[in-house]
Amino acid sequence: MTDQNTPRVAIVSGGSRGIGRETAARLGREGYAVVVTYGSAKEEGEQAAADVVAAGGQAIAVQVDVADEHSVAAVFDEAERVFGGVDVVVNSAGIMRLAPVADLDLAELDAHLRTNVRGAFAVDQQAARRVRSGGAIINVSSSLTRFSRPGYAAYAASKGAVEAITLILARELRGRDITVNAVAPGPTATALFLEGKPQELLDRMAAEPPLERIGRPEDIAEIIAFLAGPARWINGQTLYANGGAI
């Protein structure tokens, strides 16, 4: 448990872009010290860390290969060295490449499994070993596990695995006072989601939820921040955040 006079410390994987970046900034506004991780986009990672500081928190940016357990362990080492420990882990790094099952290059399937499944597992493994009492682990899944849209089989399968890991880990951490949950966004206006999609398709997706719009990264960041802090009685759950589309 952290001292009430010291900030809670969060690691946000995939924190240089999209939902991860918005989440890091949101946690910064709540006074967290944030370790923003990035894969190859160093400039974006450093800017995301600067955003956290501008929002009122503390931050550093650290490069990581989420599927390499040694690289992931080094991020946790750095969080402990600089900020004294880890209280919250947000697991938002991921890739999404689309093709029908019949046409998908299996190398693309392997890429999804490496980043989205092995990467989530490696980060959760370190989190399970190192997150302090009173902490939270939040994995980012996807509402595509329920939408079942053609072309998304590899991505949805990888996110189904993330949900399974989440629910089991919550039970494995019995007695530790650490919550483990997943957030499953629907269509959300990130670069990863918007890339290559025609406006007609985006308009059709926006019309699906009763709220009649595509989600924004800040919508998801708000839920993650809730799970990271005050939501101590939500545990072992997948929260579908898609404006009511399903």
> 7, 32 in Cβ contact below 8 A?
yes
C-alpha to C-alpha distance for 220 and 176, rounded to whole angstroms = 26
> 138, 89 in Cβ contact below 8 A?
yes
Q: Is 155 a catalytic residue?
A: yes
C-alpha to C-alpha distance for 204 and 99, rounded to whole angstroms = 20
Structure tokens at 97: 């490449």
Selected catalytic residue, list 32, 38, 155, 240: 155
Q: Is 87 helix (H, G, I), strand (E, B) or coil?
A: coil
Residues 6+ apart with CB under 8 A from 39: 14, 16, 63, 64, 65, 66, 93
Active site residues: 155
